[in-house]
Amino acid sequence: MPKRKLHKLWMKLAFPLTGGEPYCPRCGSVRYTHIKTRKQYRCRDCEHRYSNTSGTMFACRKLPIRDILFGIAEFQDEEDACTAHSFARKMGVSYKTAWVMAHKVRQLMFAARSNILITEDVAVDGAYFGGVLRNINVKKNRNDHRLKKFRHQNKKKVVVIVKGRITNSTILAREFVSEAEAVDWVRGCVPKDKKIFTDEANHWNSLGASHEHHTINHKQAYKIGDNDTNAAESFFSTFRVASKVYRSVSRGYFTAYINEQVWRRTAKLARSNLDRFLDVVSHIRDVVNKFRGYWQFGEMTA
């Protein structure tokens, strides 16, 4: 893309309210003076200086705008996952730069899916991740890691998903300490005129007070008649494949990887690569950037 067209595209993304005309991120005034020597603008009302990245996800950046847009396009184009090492090679930057850039794109992906409305019957299920102890060398001394007493409880996380039973366009996922804590969240997300399908765990029974609730006993079958939670189970299968690509996911950033997989699953619908790119990059001004360097000291991304 020529430099002039690239600049025009970025201005429309950075200043969406005026179609690309700069406005002050502090007071919103459209009256400005262009300081060409510093590539900045000075607000005539509040005297605040700002640039074409001020107030966006990529404020205080060092990478050129062309590299930023290229990085977003490459990251979202991956099928299941994109590691920081692979991302660094594609962008031609260091591992630390690629790691921060990847997490910024994950925040944009979450923003693109934050206003989803449920319009169909849903399947609800939870899956536990992490907390597994390392196997003992001698086989007869090994423990069943599926049991609660043989897991690190402070490291184990459960992801509860609300997914449409017909299409991939409706997916909501959130991290909890246990499935029981997700009952109120599920009740608030799903409209009362929609059916909810779960397994026979006791904590899901209270959903029957507000919704039409159907259950399936997985000890007997995965599907009986119209009752199943296969739509939710399919998402967890995809996420476990992606987690193997990353090899290890930090506890502090676990939610960010969940949000990424939610967006990737919905992006597999019949849309072009350009539509997926615009779906992500159009939110650069809607998200507060939490990554201004590599060392975040365990700061949560959600």
pTM of the model: 0.86
Evaluate if residue 227 carries a pLDDT over 70: yes
Residues 6 or more apart in contact with residue 197 via CB below 8 angstroms: 121, 122, 123, 124, 165, 214, 215, 216, 227, 228, 229
What is d(CA 255, CA 21) in angstroms, rounded to the nearest whole number? 35
Residues 213 and 204 sit within 8 Å (Cβ to Cβ): yes
Paired with 223 in beta bridges are 228
What's the mean pLDDT when you consider all of the chain?
86
Residues 189 and 161 sit within 8 Å (Cβ to Cβ): no
Share of the chain above pLDDT 90, in %: 46
pLDDT of residue 62: 86
Q: What is the pLDDT of residues 14-59, one digit of tens each?
A: 999 999 999 998 999 999 999 999 989 999 999 999 999 988 889 8
What is d(CA 278, CA 57) in angstroms, rounded to the nearest whole number? 15
Evaluate if residue 239 carries a pLDDT over 90: no
Helix, strand, coil share (%) of the chain residues, nearest 5: 40, 15, 45
Mean pLDDT in residue range 238-263: 86
Q: What is the pLDDT of residues 55-107, one digit of tens each?
A: 888 988 889 999 999 999 999 988 888 999 999 999 999 999 999 999 999 99
pLDDT of residue 302: 39
Mean pLDDT in residue range 4-16: 92
Torsion of CA 51, 110, 263, 88, to 10 degrees: 50
pLDDT of residue 292: 65
CA distances from 124 to 18, 71, 245, 250, 298 (A): 41, 34, 26, 25, 30
pLDDT of residue 130: 73
Residues 174 and 185 sit within 8 Å (Cβ to Cβ): yes
- Residue 113: band (very low, low, confident or very high) from pLDDT cuts 50, 70, 90: confident
pLDDT of residue 253: 86
